Structure formats: C-alpha cells, structure tokens
Structure 1
Amino acid sequence: MIPLFRVPMSAQAPDAVAAVVASGQVGQGARVEQFERELADRIGNPHVATLNSATAGLHLALRLVRGSTPGGEVLTTPLTMEATNWTILANGLDIRWVDVDPATLNVDLDDLAEKITAKTRAIMIVHFAGYPVDLDRLHGVLDRAEAIHGHRPMVIEDCAHAWGATYRDVPLGNHGNISVFSFQAIKHLTCGDGGLIVLPNEDMHRRAKLLRWFGIDREGPNRLRNPPDVQEWGYKFHMSDINAAIGLANLSHSDEVLRRHRANAAYYDSRLAGVPGLTLTQRAPDRQSSFWIYPLQVDDRNGFVKRMDAAGVMVSQVHMRNDVHTCVRDYIDQLPALDVVDKRLVCIPVGWWVSDDQREYIVDTVDSGW
C-alpha cells in the first residue's frame, strides 16, 4: 500500500535527541533558543515563538487578540482539522462559518466580506493543502470592513499545511498577520510534535513569549526563581529542548522533503489536467503551495476510493467538515459550495516517499477508471 502520510525524519535526529537527554537539561533551553533563531532566519521575521503544538499557537493567537470584553465571534472555515476551530470555543468566542472557494478549498473571500460585522474579533484562515489564501485581496476586504465598522479584525493564518509556502515570493509569516505553523509528526518539518507562532510586531511577540509559560518571563534576571509578580496569567505551551533538537536536525532535511512534494504535485498537475470526472485545484502564479496534501474533486468519490484501495493506493478526504459536530450545532449556517465540495473531495499520496514509478502508477490508476 502506498501510504498517504509518512514521518519525515533526518538520520541525525536520534543522536541530537540523545545529546539533549544526556545533558540533563531537557526543558525549554538552549536548543529551543537556537531553533527559534534558525526559524526566524528561514521565515524572515524575528518575532517567532516555539510552542508544544500548533493548536496551542492558535489558542494563544486568539488570546492575544480577543480583548477584555466578553463575547464576539470569529469568522472561520469548517474545512480543516477540528483543532483550528475548537480553539475558538476554548477562548469563549462564537464561531461564524464562512463558505469555501471550490477552486482553492480556502475560504470564499466574497462570503467572508459579507459576514464581517462589529462583533468580529478575528478571522481564521487556513491555507488548505499548503496553498496560500489571496492575502492582498483579503487585505482589501479588511480595508472596506474597517471603513464600515470602524474596526479591523486581526487575521490569524493557520499555516499547519503550509511550511515553505510563499505568497508574492514572500514566505508566509510576513504579511502583517499572526501566523501559526505545525511541526506535528507528519508535517514537512517535524519536531515529533510542536508548533510556531509568528507575530507581526515586537509587542505581541513579547506577550506571546510570556503567555506560553504561565505569564512568567523566562529571559529576565529572575527566570530561574519565583517571579516577583505575574501581571497576566498564561499557559504551559512552551517547546522542550528534546522537540527542538528533533526540529533542528530536520530543518535542512525539510528542504528536500518540500522539494519532492512539489515535484510530485507538478507531475500530477501535468498528467491529471483534463481527466473527465476529476477537478484539480487552482494554481495562481503569485503563490507557491507546499503541497502537504494533493486534493482532487471527483464525481464518484466512493467508487474512486474503492478503486484506489484495491490498487494499493491509500486515499482519504483527510479533513471532514467541522460544522456537523454536535458541539457546534448552534452555529449552523448555509454553505452551498462546501455542500458540493464535501461530497467530492479526496486526496492522493504526494509526499517525499512517493517514487517516480509510484506516482506514475497512481496517475495510471486514477485515469483508468473514467
């Protein structure tokens, strides 16, 4: 069976972890600091803070922007991992669903524009499959909303799929928003588990670093003592040196992982374009996807899944729509585009482990059923 996911792990990672364990200093320390410096260089933004998961990053991002007044809502997509949206509930905020754009599987910016109100505290966008949302167009939507409502909601970019993705030749994490990356086991860059929050300014950066560890300053003169005062309580969201050591070992390795994902995706683009009963997602020249997954829309998904399974190719929808869960039934909305996409979406293996022969076999299998 050709798998849909595998863990990309550098051969240097075991020794890197062993060195940390032998040092006796395994919590947040020198390895975390080094990892953050190297991540900041890669992204091109110094305002970074590592965390124990991307979910913690999204939770923290909402804490940074929700304000002191209770209530309010966050505009978000249902087509994502539940972690994206459960952080909204965990912050005591309401969800307002935004429909998807079938061409990209990202949020429909027209529907988003219509749903921004004075109650909107934040906008959560997901770069689905690693394909960036049109951030300039989103900026224009927010300009108009600010003129109407006198308030500009903060954008939180869920970049869990999108390590290495660029918009207008600039890496995600540099477009004036809060961006959160995932270093979970099967992502392009893995720490075993972990995350990264990237902030648009130094004030938010300093606050994020405080809140990730109980509100206590880990960089000041009292970092190893009981704090004289905690002005704002925080969480235990920090990364350990063990996870940072894995990340450091994998950082350069992730370049080849990303290159191979893109090469396999380019092959699929060239071979699957125009196949009857199958729709590819959009490719715009101003952005470069990371292709963490390779989504298709197919007319007969059940038949497609059975055929691929029989051929030894693992396929899956990967993310089910979140808005059908009982815990969010109070937020039900009409999402006609998602209703169609949800019945057709399926992903095929695109990762670094897929060989030239295997990707040709996958294409031939996909094409043979129509």
Structure 2
Amino acid sequence: MPKVLEVLRSFGLLGFTAFGGPTAHLGYFRTEFVERKKWLDDKQYSEIVAISQLLPGPGSSQVGMALGYQRAGFAGMTAAWFAFTLPSVVLMTAFALLFDATDAGWTLGLLAAAVAVVFHAVSGMARSMAATPLTATIAVASGIAVLALPSAFTHLGMILAAGLVGIFAFKTLVDETPPAAPLRAIPAWAGIGSLILFFIGLVAAIIGGGFYPAFYQAGATVFGGGHVVLPLLEKLVVAPGWIANNDFLAGYSAAQAVPGPMFTFASYLGAVHGGIAGALIATVAIFIPGTLLTIAGLYFWGRWREAPLLQAAIKGINAGVVGLLGAALYDPVFTHGINGVASLSIAAVCWLGLAKWKIPPWAIALGAALAGWVLL
C-alpha cells in the first residue's frame, strides 16, 4: 500500500473513533503509530509532542500532521490532517444546521473510553520520560501547577520551566544518552517560508479584523490545545455580536462529544454564521497558522536538536509534558468521562483491551460506544 494511502487509512479510522479531546488523541496516536505500526519510536514521538507543546495551535492536530509528514512527506501531512479532521468538520457542521446528540449514551461511552486511552498513554510515556526521581518530580510539579492555576500561560510556563530545569540538571548526562533518531527533515525553503507566511497572516488578521480573520487569530495565539481555544473564540466572536451566546454554548457542548480535533468548533461557528461555505472558511482559517508553525517548528528543531543544551532541555520538557498529560487525564478527560460505576467499568475494560489484549483503538471505540448505548 502506498504510504500516503496508508496515512489516509490510519488517520481516517482515528478521525471517526478518537474521542475525548487533544490529550486522548495523543494516546490514540501513540498506541497506533508507536506501539502497533512502529512508524517511529517513543523517543521520536516524545520529540514531536514536545514541539507541539511549545507551539501555539491545535496540539494534537499538529502532532498528527508531523506524524503524516514523518511517514509520507508533505502529501502525508496533508492526508493526515484531512482524514483526521473531516469527520469532525462534517459532524460539527451538521450539529449547527440540523441536530444535537451530545447526551446520547454512545457518546458518553466514548468519553469513558478516552479515560482508558489517556491513562494508557500517560503511564507508557511516564515509564520512559519520567522514570527517575528528578524527572518524576518535574512531571508531578507540572501537573499540580496546571491544575492549581488553570491558564494557557501556566501551560506554556511549565513547559519552559521544565526545559530550564533540564538544562541545569541534565547537561552532564547528555553525552551518556544518545538522542532519538532524527525526524524526517523539512527543506529550508518550506521551514523559513512557513514562518514568514505565519506572521504575515497574523498581522493581516489583527489589522483587518472581521469574523473569519478571528479564526486565524485564535489558531495563531492559543497555547494548550483544543479546550483552551473555546473560551478564546467566545471573546473573538460572541463579544462583537457575530454569534449569539446560546448558539455558542450549544456548540461548546457539541464540541465535547465529537471525535477528532476540537478546533473544528470553528466549523460549527462558521456554519451558524454563513452555512456550509462559512464552515469551510472558518475551518481552514483556524488550522492554517498551526500548520505553518508545525512546518517551521520541525525545520528549526531539526537544525538545533543535537545541541547539548537543547538535548538537556528536551529531557526536562518531556517530563513536563508527562505531567501536563497527567493533569489533563484528571481534568477534563476523567471529569467528563466518568460519572458513575458504569462509565468507570467501561473505562477499565477499555484499558484492559488496549494494554493487555492489544485490541486496536478503533475496535475499543466501537465497543465503548455500544456499551455506552446499553448502559448509560
């Protein structure tokens, strides 16, 4: 099977079954592409996750695009984004124009499954990225800080602080631990050109203003992934009067219940404002800046990744990322996914299937949906 078609198939399945928000998506990706398909190893995957955490934009989508590029170049990057995003775009547009099924039992079952997926991913990453007393301490401190001070600035601040601790704590260990195998290189024209285009677009969006440029601005300035973009969009599209508050809150609920990236909340808002065409424009506008930053980030990371200080910082950042994912396991994944013994039982059985029976994520999702339909 050609690699681009392989990317389309893999991300297409995940686009229909990856419920639970950005942290859960990282768990699905790790299970599918590190454990099952072995497109890359845990160290390489952790580097991609670290890059996404340092950049503004849709974190899990940026990881997905990087995985697609790693497998099949720019065609693979495009295929990964399209296949992973399309089901969510269609569902969010349909919610805006036709119906709402956010409280259906099958969606509650899928949210419970996301708890198992994230727990499996966090525990697996902790074994390799937070296995020493110091890295475990960095992870725990990062997680507690994010939960105690919920803010996108806290998220970014803990990543930077973890990197700074890594520079001082691990610089003498860099020579003893070889870096991960290099990721697929980004051409200089693409990396530098993407960064220039990103800033041109951001300046134009801020100066020009308007409903659709607001989505570019949101995608270019939000740290912390999908859950953080929702309140930011409220300020950008509700406060000026483009979207009614009731419509916004209805879409907010729908965004918690669909698979794929939460940035497709823009598809819902675009559909409310301008129908199907509005949904497409808003979707493209919110994802463009993150795509450009992913290309630029991979390029500069590839040039600097073997610098001793950056390698030491990576060790600290990886531990910090484990802590951030652990915090997200509690809120919003656990708090949204577990509301009683039935949902906890679904989560436990899903973990058993993933961790011990090695059942594919798409089968786990289907089973959880059926269990939720019956039990919840």
Normalising by the smaller structure, the TM-score range is under 0.3
Q: Which has the larger radius of gyration?
A: 1
Structure with a larger share of its residues in strand: 1
Structure with a larger share of its residues in helix: 2
Higher relative contact order (CA 8 A, sep 6+): 2
User: Normalising by structure 2, what TM-score?
Assistant: 0.22
User: Normalising by structure 1, what TM-score?
Assistant: 0.22
